């Protein structure tokens, strides 16, 4: 299982702090974004600009995700 941590706006849109999902074969961050968009359409626009971290390290779209990884969706931060 992969643990997906949701922060800020992502958590608000889904109504959960985390989601567990199976990952029988390694997948890329790009594929994860697509899978999340299909499962949670409300996340689509947020995922286009959110940073993704895998095991507490910022990831690229090509970073592999495997079972037992922890993935965080980090929405953009704005301030004034």
Residue at 22 is within a domain: yes
Closest CA to 4 of 45, 48, 50, 49: 50
What total number of domains does the chain contain? 1
- Inform me whether the pLDDT recorded for 72 exceeds 80: yes
The pLDDT confidence band at residue 79, using thresholds 50, 70 and 90, is low
Does some domain include residue 79? no
Predicted confidence at residue 36, as pLDDT, reads: 92
pLDDT tens digits, 8-46: 999 999 999 999 988 888 999 999 999 999 999 999 999
Q: Is 59 a domain residue?
A: yes
Model confidence at 80: pLDDT above 90: no
- What is the 8-class DSSP label of residue 7? -
Assigned domain for 80 exists: no
Kindly report the CATH number assigned to the domain that includes residue 42.
Answer: 3.10.20.30
Q: Domain of residue 38: give its range.
A: 2-74
Structure confidence by residue, pLDDT tens digits, 49-59 = 999 999 999 99
């Amino acid at each position: 299982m992969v643990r997906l941590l949701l922060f800020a706006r992502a958590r608000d849109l889904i109504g959960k702090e985390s989601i567990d999902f199976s990952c029988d074969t390694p997948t890329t961050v790009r594929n994860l974004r697509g899978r999340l968009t299909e499962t949670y359409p409300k996340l689509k626009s947020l995922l286009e600009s959110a940073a993704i971290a895998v095991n507490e390290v910022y990831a690229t779209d090509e970073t592999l995700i495997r079972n037992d990884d922890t993935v965080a969706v980090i929405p953009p931060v704005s301030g004034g």
